[in-house]
Structure 1
């Protein structure tokens, strides 16, 4: 498996160029990122997840991966939320808690997975990613909303998220062995690319509105530390434990390790913008972690593959 910087540099620079494109669009064309954030949350993300599930033909083993990642990310976020409220204000704590349970597994990580993993590995990666998506739009969204809204208001907002219903519908259709017509599935192919493009562009659009007083060193350091210290160590431990219990396939091990080294989720900005909780601070933290990715991803993956014997 080639993890050299030259192999990953092209796709990584492409993703960063989408951020720059969003910045230019907002500055030169006065594009408002808020409607795009709403579009991502309520239309593009649900249809992207629905298509992934319909293409993946979920089995019990795949759904166990989804459930395990959902439980793991939820546990991390709930723990961080409890600790962060002692140190940060309610908005910052909510945003930090949300970001701690997720990463840019879709907009950023999926193109990398398509380069590094065989088809079986990509499928495993997708179902792990779905567990993280499910966390984002349930537990993560609730924790973020609680920084701004009451418990009842937060639950009402979650109940209106179409991603939950798209997830349930795809599982129901799969259980009934119902396949959508080929033209319908073909028409859904545009959404994953739109998901990546707009998800990265929205970081740049938000950064175009950032003022210097939005910089918060403590907050950025906490976000980046959770993403690039806690997650790699935690997932390395998970892979080693799973491999000790039963032989772990190289594809699954690589998928899990890749999930742990992607930068902060662009959805930190999307959710913050949708809920009105410090999107500028979130955008700065996401930008720092994204700029570090071309340096850290090859380094971290090479080291972890060596330690686990999966390389």
Structure 2
């Protein structure tokens, strides 16, 4: 049984394939074993992979081995992992902790190869500064925007549960970050659950108030990197090199926040001050994935199952974890 959140239509699959220059008639095994090519998918919030791409060190290392790298941007984590599942890309940049759960529920052959340690303050539920909403409990009956299946979705559920408000008691508006930004700006939603750098950008341009973020154990907001399992099995050296590049980029970003913001600003089209604010809230601490990490994933999966977002119960410890140095 596949998840409706991870079950692309034929048109969506053609769009994904077309975006990376593939056809759907190419067998997955052929795609995964394609020699001398590495296709990396990412989204705008994929800070470390953006740094790696901009600095060019990984590309040079792999070019010396005769491997070319191509980069493919996606609007959010869901289509990114869909592309990984159908063999349109080989590795994904980071996605919120919620997103891989739907891939696992759909039976996708994906492998966790890295994670960023939690950054719970990097996502929040915000309202306009002059809003009458003063607490999470005040969201009852209100329209709240967030991306479906994103980390922000879990934050909304967890915050409402803590406040004793059933999810059904709010008006849920599923919005991409771009659509959410517009809806929040024109007042068509009462509150918005969003993550950095979109969160920091809104704080810069709007007079907003934070209702709650993920701290105090509410929502960890760890981010995970995934690979196509066939690709990881066939290209272990490359996966290790990408891991090392991400870890190096994370250390550099934290040790050189101004330089990191200067590098990212023209790429993202954002003011440096926005990027500095966003980067302060992200850990950028890249580590291997452990079974203990997947226990927290299990808690999220169980919450999503209760709220009828996952189609079936999954056992997160059944997921494939990359062993660094393999």
Normalized against structure 2, the TM-score is what?
0.29
Higher share in strand = 2
Higher share in helix = 1
Name which structure has the greater RCO, CA cutoff 8 Å, separation 6+.
1
Normalized against structure 1, the TM-score is what?
0.30
> Highest CA radius of gyration, 1 or 2?
2
